[in-house]
Amino acid sequence: MTARDDKFTRQTITALQRHTPKLFSLRCTRDAAFRFRAGQFARLGVRTASGCVVWRAYSMVSAPHDDYLEFFSIQVPDGQFSSQLARLQVGDELLVERQAYGFLTLDRFSDGRDLWLLASGTGIAPFLSILQEPEVWQRFAQVRLLYSVRHAEEQVYRGLLDALPGCDYLGIRAGQWQYLVTLTGEQQDGCLHGRLTRLLATGELERAAGLALQPEHSRLMVCGNPQMIEDTRESLRQRDLQLALTRRPGQVAVENYW
């Protein structure tokens, strides 16, 4: 797959971090003209050995005010794109389309008091960008992030999340922020256990968060694999929490993410 040269810029890999055998992050330079809203994604291009370019969409982990771009990926066995991305080294080229895309952004909601961010796997990426912006802390009285992973070692970016309250520019108030983890493949002290839909059905999520899900106050962003999105949307519909559409205000915004 190719794209016209005026549609993308050539950036340089500046840092790589391998979190687990499958999970990794990378940073690259950022074109001065590239603009995005927290929660959006970019289309990245990698050249294969044959010389063709493979493109995939990746949400920015970095904040809009950062002078670099950061992405979080899982290496899929024999994946056409992720296997190529995982082979890149510092100094290698990464193509980035000039335009950012996506609607998993705070402007999906015109009101609301409490913000819930529900993520699985690499679907946490857009939320990391959102949480590094002052807007979210100014708009919502309570912010809760639930991260669903199989094993505790997959809690990447824990350091960034734990450091948020100490970032003076964000202005996070005492008790405003809580980070919750649910493990689906093992049990560990300090973590919830089981799939998000079970935590919603039993009320365990709300008890752990000390906050009720209410259509009049709660706004939810959900990002993960398509099955997780479908199951969670159905659970939320049963609570009268509806998808926010252009033609109809709602309480839920979603984005499929592998």
Q: What is the pLDDT of residues 27-41, one digit of tens each?
A: 999 999 999 999 999
Q: Residue 2 pLDDT more than 70?
A: no
Q: Tell me, what's the pLDDT at 1?
A: 46
Alpha-carbon distance of 104 to 127, in angstroms, equals 9
Tokens at residue 54, please?
């493979």
**Spatial distance between the Cα atoms of 160 and 129, rounded to a whole number of angstroms:** 11
Token code pair at residue 19 = 């979190």
Average pLDDT over residues 176-203: 96
Q: How far is the C-alpha of 39 from the C-alpha of 219, rounded, in Å?
A: 15
What pLDDT is attached to residue 93? 97
| CATH fold of the domain at 106-256 | Rossmann fold (3.40.50)
Sign of dihedral through CA atoms 240, 241, 243, 246?
A: positive
Burial class of residue 164 in the structure, from the number of CB atoms within 10 Å of its CB (0-12 exposed, 13-18 middle, 19+ buried): middle
With bands split at pLDDT 50, 70 and 90, how would you rate the model's confidence at 223? very high
Residue 186, Cβ neighbours under 10 Å: how many? Answer: 12
Is 72 in contact with 123 (CB distance < 8 Å)? no
pTM: 0.95
Residue 29: how many CB atoms within 10 A of its CB? 17
Q: What kind of architecture, by CATH, is found in domain 5-97?
A: Beta Barrel (2.40)
> How does strand 114-120 pair with strand 218-224?
parallel
The residue ranges of every structural domain in the chain are 5-97, 106-256
3 pLDDT above the threshold of 90: no
